[in-house]
Amino acid sequence: MGLVQVEFSAPWSRSVRLLTAVAVTVLASVTLASLLITPRLPLPVRVALVGAPLLVLLLAPEGMRGSLRLLGNGGLFAICGWFWNRRIGRYRAYATDPERAVLLRYRDGTKVVLTPHDVQHFIVRVRRLAAVN
């Protein structure tokens, strides 16, 4: 069977939108304040004060209920990384809205949580494609 490509959008939850807005505001404020207030500081300090917030904004892409974040991002632009949950164990998350969480279990034991915009359509589509293979 050839490559099948289906696209699902990933809407942001209220918590991801709020955390992202707050974080962007704080980081932009720190950057602006650093540019205006620190002209007397040594150059490496100024670069760090201006560069660190911008770096966070460029590199960042509330964990799922009952999950412990092992290594990852908990809401700045997305919820992604490695998490652990008592019911499902360790899993990888690529999420933007925990209310739309879908767990994919692979034959090798890997578990991935995704949050497609249309959960039912996504599940039907994945099951149909899995049955063909």
Nearest to 12 by CA among 97, 87, 111: 97
Distance set, CA 31 to CA 24, 79, 87, 118 (Å): 10, 24, 42, 38
Q: Is residue 90 part of a domain?
A: yes
Q: Specify if 3 maps to a domain.
A: no
* Contact in structure between 83 and 67 (CB atoms under 8 Å): yes
The dihedral region occupied by 75, where left means phi > 0, alpha psi between -120 and 50, and beta the remainder, is: left
The confidence score (pLDDT) of residue 111 equals 92
Per-residue pLDDT at 41 exceeds 70 = yes
Is 52 contained in some domain?
yes
**In whole angstroms, how far apart are CA 20 and each of 23, 27, 59, 85, 92?**
5, 10, 13, 24, 21
Determine, yes or no, domain membership for 104.
Answer: yes
Q: Is 73 domain-assigned? A: yes
Q: What is the mean pLDDT of residues 26-39?
A: 76
Mean pLDDT of the chain, nearest integer: 77
Q: Does the residue 1 lie in any domain?
A: no
In this model, does residue 1 exceed pLDDT 70? no
Q: Determine, yes or no, domain membership for 18.
A: yes
Q: Please name the residues in contact with 90: beta carbons below 8 A apart, sequence gap of 6 or more.
A: 70, 82, 83, 84, 111
- For range 43-64, the mean pLDDT: 66
Q: How many domains does the chain have?
A: 1
Cβ-contact 93, 71 below 8 angstroms: no
Q: Taking the CB of residue 113, how many other CB atoms lie within 10 A of it? A: 22
32 domain residue, yes or no: yes
> For 55-108, what is each residue's pLDDT tens digit?
666 554 643 666 667 777 776 777 888 888 888 889 998 888 888 888 888 889
Domain boundaries, position 66: 14-132
